[in-house]
């Protein structure tokens, strides 16, 4: 009876996303869909909600930015200021700085702003992409109240010498070039990736922000404008070196350098002089990470050191008669971070494992605006101790206790415990009941503390408390596999930091409010073979209620009890991938419900970000010659040429195309 | 099996495709209005770069509030950061800062008449005569001369200060005494520029306390200036905020009152008879122009001590001398306007748009 009920429950939950307008998840490609079930009952991951992004998705989106992948294939909401422009994440209804992003184990969140611009990360660089939802991120570090996004590069010891070149040619004068070279043997390997992306990004749109009046009739019309001043160019190099002198030792060093130059569009309603209000931003990043892993018979040691440096220059120029172009803003900032980690993980028999690590990080930032002469410098030292113990009981119950203690500039931060569990409900069946309860906290960013003007050195860290529960199920039926997971979470965040304009004329951050984020995450994947066809369907749906319960300072503040701005209540995506011999077809939906732009959730015709659904389709094929393997793919984005917005009055492109050609030797 | 799959896929496809609303959203019936009476316009700045500025209209007689009057009448969003507004005859001129333009509309019907474009970062507009007006600017380092009849920029008055290491001069409000137009330079500045409106040239400047943010002229033709002093960590330096007066014909500022450090006075306004000043410093303060005492607190701020919120804008009805005080709250929701008698007794409260920052009375 119990079993029947559970099966019924799952049958219902699997049909559910087909009827809801929200959905999400993955893309896939050619090589038959392998139907090998992963182990899902792992004590080291007990109670943790994770998403492992399919490698076929990574391949399919290789020419795009991580922001595109996250919004189309995961439950992370991306606030996108336009194609190629700033894209920030909201994970489980939290702020952009509540998503921790790690590259090969080192944080790449800006120590100044606390967040990451996902438009600057090419998917091409990622070999493995892992998302840890909510408190699961404590396995990687503190601060990920929403979760963490982990990008990894892998040695690929079994690869032979590889050389591949990928060329993307797309609408709006978009060109993407990627070159990859892999060399080495079973002892030493080198992987080099070079890339260049550029776009004029000159799509046209109906500009509702400007009205033209017919001189005779006075009739109003909106011009068809070009998305001017929105071009971008990126140049980058990723170099990896791996050395495995003996089977139990692996040493690696990785370098990722990137230069990005973007012009930032003016407001669409701008009707000032052509040569004024010109905005430009350059991001130069250098990141290095080196690690040594030693696998002893009873445990694993790891030492890692890393560096992350960023230079961000932003300027706004205006024409001044007689002087030419004069900056109104000329801001230059430098951010330098050093990371070091020592960790050990070991086992006591099959059923007990433990892990300990020590992290020491140093951040130093400086920013100066040479127009206002406003400047600040900030530093931070972090010391973090981590201990975890995991126990398995008779293959029916796993427990996972993780403890973290940080000291920030010598001051003890809140103690962070995580207790996760999972229970195998039916013997021998991959049907798990999972859950966790955890605390988390997020330090104010250095801008929050020291920015001139406005920085507030008295800010307290943001503190979160999460309770989470869910069911996970996985089963193979002949040549078909089904995988599904349903999660419910509730995160209570105190001392949420908000930048609020003070009437001094600038913004100031305050520990203003309490935010209660509650939600449902649902994921479904079905894949398999039907005679000659291989198929994969992946969907996610998210219900995200992120409500402000800040102290209603006084009468008139209607933001109390309202959804945070720019966070959709419903979001989701579906991906369908079919392949037949060497041909493949991928269809992608991605939907968001309405988003509010006012803290009081007023819906006005002018300020409303209405729901949207994006449809993308791509098709291609590959063929092999003696010398090389060729793949050709045509992608169509925004298939139905819909007008939609991610940010108020920032135009998004209509239907557009991309041709991708890949040659592998 | 394949057929089964397509049967499954297509309904889903139909369900999900095509529910965009851009065209629908923008083809709505425009409202029509006729308000040939005295009233109050509120410029709601909106959020920088969000293009969500709006215009509210309040009828003091009936206490009726109409929000988004420009948009609902014209199906045209006002733009990005509506900074200020003036009325000349029956036409209203709204200065939209980050859209670089001024919209001109009929103040009885709210119907748009035209626009003046090509302005860099316009702040305030001041009429010299029917065919000439000045528009101050934050970044252009010049004041634009516009012809409101032809809706064109006809010239500029350069105000660049070569000697300063800061971006000067950024010009703000304008007050006219005889043929001279006085404009305060707020951003990293401490000057009141004097412009001869016949020759369109800067003829003099008056040094005041740092960052003069607002000015009014009283019944004795004395110019009153309120400076916020900048902020303590400013690279430009910091003055204790102060209230100053410049006697008619004089080109020298005399300090009337100094505030304590951290005070944030703004929004200097004067009543209809030109004898009583009002300004904001979290709450609303009052000061008679002939008084020798300290300004007195008339209306307390609704925010608790330590909260950085406070009233954001203030204006006095030139006829009734009633006070209108705007609270922008968190600047990302609709603000509130409070109406008080000249003695600070509450009369009415109404909701306007996001970031109410400017008022304009229609006679």
> A535: which chain B residues are within 8 Å (Cβ-Cβ)?
5
The reported pLDDT for the residue numbered B308 is: 64
Over the range B76-109, which residues count as b (16 or more CB within 10 Å of their CB) and which as e?
bbbbbbbbbbbeeeeebbbbbbbbbbbbbbebbb
Residues of A whose CB is below 8 A from B54: 606
Q: What is the ipTM of this complex?
A: 0.91
CB-nearest partner of A607 from B52, B307, B308:
B52
Q: List pLDDT tens digits, range A160-192.
A: 888 999 999 999 999 999 999 999 999 999 999
Asked whether residue B221 carries a pLDDT value surpassing 90, the answer given is yes
Q: Is a pLDDT exceeding 70 seen at residue A535? A: yes
Name which residue leads in pLDDT, A279 or B249: A279
Cβ separation B16–A643 shorter than 8 A: no
Beta bridge pairs of residue B215 = B225
Q: Indicate if the pLDDT at residue A438 is higher than 60.
A: yes
Rounded Cα–Cα distance for residues A596 and A548 (Å): 13
Mean pLDDT, rounded, for B279-293: 94
Among the residue ranges A104-108, A166-170, A605-609, B92-96, the one predicted with the least confidence is A605-609
Furthest-apart CA pair in chain A: how many Å? Answer: 88
Which string of DSSP letters, residue by residue, matches B313-359?
A: EEEE-TTT--EEEEE-TTSSSEEEEEEE-TTS-EEEEEEEEESEEEE
Chain B residues within 8 A of A649 when measuring between CB atoms: 50-52, 77, 80
Residue A32's CB is within 10 A of a number of other CB atoms, namely 10
pLDDT digits (tens, 9 = 90+) for A61-108: 999 999 999 999 999 999 999 899 999 999 999 999 999 999 999 999
- Average confidence (pLDDT) over A202-207: 94
pLDDT at residue A12 is higher than 50 = no
Contact list, B226 vs chain A (CB under 8 Å): none
Among A347-351, A462-466, A631-635, the least confident range: A347-351
Task: Check pLDDT > 80 for residue B47.
Answer: yes
A504–chain B Cβ distance below 8 A for any pair: yes
Q: What residues of chain B lie within 8 A of the CB of A548, using their CB?
A: none
Tell whether the model's pLDDT for residue B76 goes beyond 60: yes
pLDDT of residue A503: 60
Which pair of structure tokens corresponds to residue A499? 């930048």
Q: For residue A664, give Cα distances in angstroms to A59, A168, A170.
A: 13, 15, 21
pLDDT at B262: 81
Give the C-alpha distances (Å, rounded to integers) separating A139 from A133, A298, A353: 11, 21, 14
Scanning every residue of chain A, which has its alpha carbon at the shortest distance from the alpha carbon of B141? Answer: A320
Instruction: Give whole-number Cα distances, A568 to A46, A497, A593, in Å.
Output: 29, 20, 5
Omega cis (within 30) before A162: no
- Structural domains in chain A plus CATH codes: 2-664 (2.40.170.20)
Residue A218's pLDDT band (boundaries 50, 70, 90)? confident
Distance from CA of B37 to the nearest CA of A (A): 25
Count CB atoms within 10 A of the CB of residue A401: 17
Instruction: Tell which residue, B216, B343, B319, has the closest CA to residue B268.
Output: B216
| Nearest CB partner across the interface for B51, out of A554, A602, A649 | A649
Contact present, B50 and A649 (Cβ < 8 Å): yes
Instruction: Out of A267, A328, A605, name the one closest to residue B51 (CB).
Output: A267
pLDDT tens for A321-337 read 888 999 999 999 999 99
Is A457 at the interface with chain B, CB within 8 A? Answer: no
CB–CB contact A554 B101 (8 Å): no
Residue B80 has pLDDT above 80, yes or no: yes
Three-state DSSP class for residue B84:
strand
Give the pLDDT of residue B15: 46
For residue A22, what pLDDT is reported? Answer: 30
A505 confidence band (pLDDT: 50, 70, 90): low
Are residues A273 and B334, on separate chains, in Cβ contact within 8 Å?
A: no
Question: Token pair of A101, please?
Answer: 């992003």
| Chain A residues within 8 A of B280 when measuring between CB atoms | 503
Q: Give the torsion through C-alpha atoms of A243, A245, A251, A253, to 10 deg.
A: -20
CB contact under 8 A, A326 and B115: no
Reduced to 3 states, what is the DSSP secondary structure of residue B194? strand
CB contact A610 to B (< 8 Å): yes
Q: Taking residues A56-61, what's their average pLDDT?
A: 88
pLDDT at position A223 is 94
**pLDDT at residue B36 greater than cutoff 70:** yes
pTM for the model? 0.90
Q: What is the mean pLDDT of residues B9-18?
A: 45
The alpha carbons of chain A give a radius of gyration, in whole angstroms, of: 25
Chain A: give the shortest CA distance to residue B343, in Å: 22
Helix A2-19 / helix B2-16 crossing angle, nearest 10 deg = 60
Residue with tokens 């992290």: A359
A250-267 tens-digit pLDDT:
999 999 999 999 999 999
Two structure tokens written together for A24:
């999400």
- Measured distance CA(A34)–CA(A165) in Å, rounded: 25
pLDDT for res A504: 64
> Residue A508: its chain B contacts at CB < 8 A?
308
Tens digit of each residue's pLDDT (9 = 90 or more) over A452-479: 888 899 999 999 999 999 999 999 998 8
How much is the average pLDDT of A136-145?
95
Q: Where is average pLDDT lowest: A373-382, B87-96, B147-156, B306-315?
A: B306-315
Query: How far from chain centre, in Å, is Cα A576?
Result: 21
CB-closest option in A271, A501, A613 to B16: A613
Distance from CA of A590 to the nearest CA of B (A): 9
Query: Can you give the pLDDT at residue B330?
Result: 82
Of B108, B112, B99, give the one whose Cα is nearest residue B48.
B99
Max Cα–Cα distance, chain B, nearest Å: 94
Contact state of B51 with A319 under an 8 Å Cβ cutoff: no
| Residues facing residue B201 across a β-bridge | B196
Binary contact (B80, A640; C-beta < 8 A)? no
d(CA A485, CA A422): 13
φ/ψ of residue A233, rounded to 5: -145, 140
Best of A228, A269, A589 to disrupt the B interface by mutation (most B CBs within 10 Å)?
Answer: A269
Q: Say if residue A387's pLDDT is above 90.
A: yes
- pLDDT > 90: what percent of chain A? 75
Q: Report pLDDT digits (tens) over A612-627.
A: 889 999 999 999 999 8
Whether the pLDDT of residue A560 is over 70: the answer is yes
Chain segment A485-497, per-residue pLDDT in tens: 999 999 999 999 9
Q: How many CA atoms lie within 13 A of A344 on its CB side?
A: 6
Alpha-carbon gap: B48 to the closest alpha carbon of chain A (Å)? 9
Predicted pLDDT at B23 = 76
pLDDT in tens, A14-31: 333 333 333 222 333 334
Could you give the 3-state DSSP secondary structure of residue A411?
Answer: strand
pLDDT, chain B, mean:
91
Rounded distance, CA A197 to CA A660, Å? Answer: 13
| Structure confidence at residue B21 (pLDDT) | 65
- Whether the predicted pLDDT of B3 surpasses 80: no
Beta carbons of A433 and A469 less than 8 angstroms apart: yes
Residue A555 or residue B355, greater confidence: B355
- Look at B180 and A34; give whichever has higher pLDDT: B180
- Compute the nearest-CA separation of B249 from chain A (Å): 31
Task: Evaluate the CA torsion angle A245, A250, A253, A254 in order and state its sign.
Answer: positive
Averaged pLDDT, A129-135 = 97
**pLDDT-derived band at A608, boundaries 50, 70, 90:** confident
Q: What's the whole-number average pLDDT of chain A?
A: 90
Handedness of CA A483, A489, A495, A497 (dihedral sign): positive
Q: How large is the average pLDDT for residues A491-505?
A: 82
pLDDT reported for residue A645: 87
Q: Which among B20, B28, B354 has the least Cβ separation from residue A643?
A: B20
Residue with the bigger pLDDT between B360 and A643: it is B360
Check B302 against A554: CB less than 8 A apart.
Answer: yes
Rounded to an integer, the average pLDDT of B334-359 is 95
């Amino acid at each position: 009876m119990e079993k029947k009920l559970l099966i019924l429950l799952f049958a219902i939950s699997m049909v559910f996303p087909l009827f809801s307008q929200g959905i999400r998840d993955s893309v896939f490609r050619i090589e038959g869909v392998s139907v090998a079930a992963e182990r899902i009952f792992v004590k080291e991951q007990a109670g943790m909600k994770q998403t492992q992004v399919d490698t076929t998705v990574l391949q399919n989106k290789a020419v795009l930015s991580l922001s595109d992948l996250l919004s189309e294939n995961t439950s992370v909401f991306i606030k996108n200021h336009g194609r190629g422009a700033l894209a920030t994440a909201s994970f489980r209804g939290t702020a952009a700085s509540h998503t921790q992003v790690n590259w090969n184990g080192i944080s790449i969140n800006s120590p100044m702003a606390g967040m990451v611009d996902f438009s600057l990360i090419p998917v091409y660089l990622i070999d493995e992409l892992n998302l840890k939802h909510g408190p699961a991120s404590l396995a990687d570090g503190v601060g990920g109240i929403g979760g963490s996004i982990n990008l990894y590069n892998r040695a690929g010891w079994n690869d032979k010498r590889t050389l591949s070149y990928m060329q993307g040619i797309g609408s709006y004068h978009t060109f993407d070039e990627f070159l990859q070279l892999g060399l080495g043997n079973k002892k030493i390997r080198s992987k080099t990736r070079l890339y260049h992306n550029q776009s004029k990004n000159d799509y046209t749109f109906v500009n509702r922000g400007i009205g033209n009046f017919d001189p005779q009739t006075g009739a109003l019309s909106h011009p068809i404008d070009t998305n001017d001043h929105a071009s971008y160019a990126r140049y980058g190099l990723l170099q990896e070196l791996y050395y495995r002198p003996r089977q139990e030792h692996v040493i690696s060093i990785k370098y990722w350098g990137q230069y990005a130059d973007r012009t930032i569009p003016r407001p669409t309603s701008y009707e000032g002089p052509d040569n004024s209000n010109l905005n430009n931003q350059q991001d130069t990043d250098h990141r290095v990470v080196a690690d040594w892993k030693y696998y002893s018979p009873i445990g694993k040691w790891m030492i890692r050191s890393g560096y992350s440096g960023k230079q961000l220059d932003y300027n706004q120029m205006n024409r001044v008669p007689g002087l030419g172009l004069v900056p109104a803003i000329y801001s230059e900032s430098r951010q330098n971070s050093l990371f070091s980690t020592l960790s050990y993980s070991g086992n006591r028999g099959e059923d007990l494992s433990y892990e300990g690590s020590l992290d020491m990080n140093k951040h130093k930032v400086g920013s100066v605006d040479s127009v206002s002469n406003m400047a600040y410098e900030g530093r931070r030292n972090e010391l973090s101790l981590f201990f975890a113990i995991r126990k398995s009981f008779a293959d029916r119950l796993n427990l996972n206790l993780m403890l973290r203690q940080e000291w920030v500039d010598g001051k003890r931060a809140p103690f962070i415990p995580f207790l996760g569990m999972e229970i195998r409900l039916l013997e021998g069946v991959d049907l798990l009941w999972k859950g966790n309860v955890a605390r988390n906290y997020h330090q104010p960013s250095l801008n929050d503390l020291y920015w001139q003007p406005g920085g507030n050195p008295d800010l307290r860290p943001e503190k979160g408390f999460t309770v989470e529960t869910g069911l996970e199920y996985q089963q193979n039926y002949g040549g078909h596999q089904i995988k599904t997971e349903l999660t419910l979470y509730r995160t209570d965040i105190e001392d949420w930091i908000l930048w609020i304009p003070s009437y001094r004329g600038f913004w100031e951050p305050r520990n203003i409010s309490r935010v209660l984020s509650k939600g449902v995450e649902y994921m479904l994947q079905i894949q398999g073979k039907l005679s000659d066809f291989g198929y994969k369907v992946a969907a996610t749906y998210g219900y995200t209620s992120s409500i402000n319960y800040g102290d209603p300072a006084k009468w008139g503040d209607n933001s109390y009890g309202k959804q945070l701005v720019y966070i959709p209540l419903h979001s989701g995506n579906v991906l369908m991938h079919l392949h037949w011999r060497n041909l493949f077809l991928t269809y992608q939906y991605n939907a968001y419900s309405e988003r509010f732009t006012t803290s009081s959730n007023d819906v006005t015709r002018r300020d409303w970000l209405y729901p949207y659904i994006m449809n993308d389709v791509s098709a291609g094929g590959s063929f092999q010659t003696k010398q090389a393997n060729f793949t050709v793919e045509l992608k169509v984005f925004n298939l139905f040429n819909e007008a939609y917005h991610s940010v108020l009055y920032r135009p998004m492109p209509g239907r557009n195309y991309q041709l991708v050609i890949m040659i592998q030797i | 099996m394949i057929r089964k799959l397509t049967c499954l896929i297509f309904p889903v496809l139909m369900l999900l495709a095509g529910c965009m609303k851009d065209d629908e959203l923008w083809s709505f019936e425009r409202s029509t209005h006729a308000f040939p009476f005295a009233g109050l316009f509120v410029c709601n700045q909106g959020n920088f770069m969000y293009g969500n500025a709006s215009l509210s209209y309040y009828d003091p007689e009936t206490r009726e509030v109409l929000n988004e009057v420009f948009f609902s009448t014209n199906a045209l969003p006002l733009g990005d950061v509506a900074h200020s507004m003036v009325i000349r005859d029956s036409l209203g001129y709204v200065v939209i800062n980050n859209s670089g333009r001024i919209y001109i509309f009929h103040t009885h019907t709210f119907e748009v008449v035209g626009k003046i474009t090509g302005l860099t970062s316009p702040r305030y507009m001041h009429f010299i005569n029917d065919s000439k007006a000045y528009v101050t600017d934050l970044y252009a380092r010049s004041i634009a001369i516009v012809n409101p009849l032809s809706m064109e920029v006809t010239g500029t008055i350069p105000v660049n200060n070569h000697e300063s290491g800061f971006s000067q001069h950024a010009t703000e409000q304008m007050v006219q005494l005889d043929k001279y137009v006085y404009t305060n330079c707020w951003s990293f500045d401490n000057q009141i520029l004097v412009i001869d409106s016949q020759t369109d040239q800067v003829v003099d400047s008056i040094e005041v306390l740092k960052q003069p943010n607002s000015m009014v002229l009283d019944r004795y033709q004395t110019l009153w200036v309120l400076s916020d002093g900048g902020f303590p960590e400013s690279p430009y330096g910091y003055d204790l905020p102060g209230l100053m007066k410049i006697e008619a014909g004089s080109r020298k500022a005399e300090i009337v009152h100094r505030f304590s450090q951290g005070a944030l006075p703004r929004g200097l306004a004067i009543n209809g008879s030109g004898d009583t000043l009002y300004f904001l410093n979290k709450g609303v303060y009052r000061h008679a122009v002939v008084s020798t005492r300290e300004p007195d607190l008339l209306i307390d701020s609704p925010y608790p001590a330590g909260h950085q919120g406070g009233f954001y804008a203030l204006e006095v009805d030139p006829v009734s001398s009633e006070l209108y005080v705007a609270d922008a709250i968190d600047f990302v929701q609709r603000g509130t306007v409070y109406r008080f008698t000249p003695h600070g007794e509450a009369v009415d409260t109404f909701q306007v748009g996001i970031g109410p920052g400017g008022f304009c009375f229609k006679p």
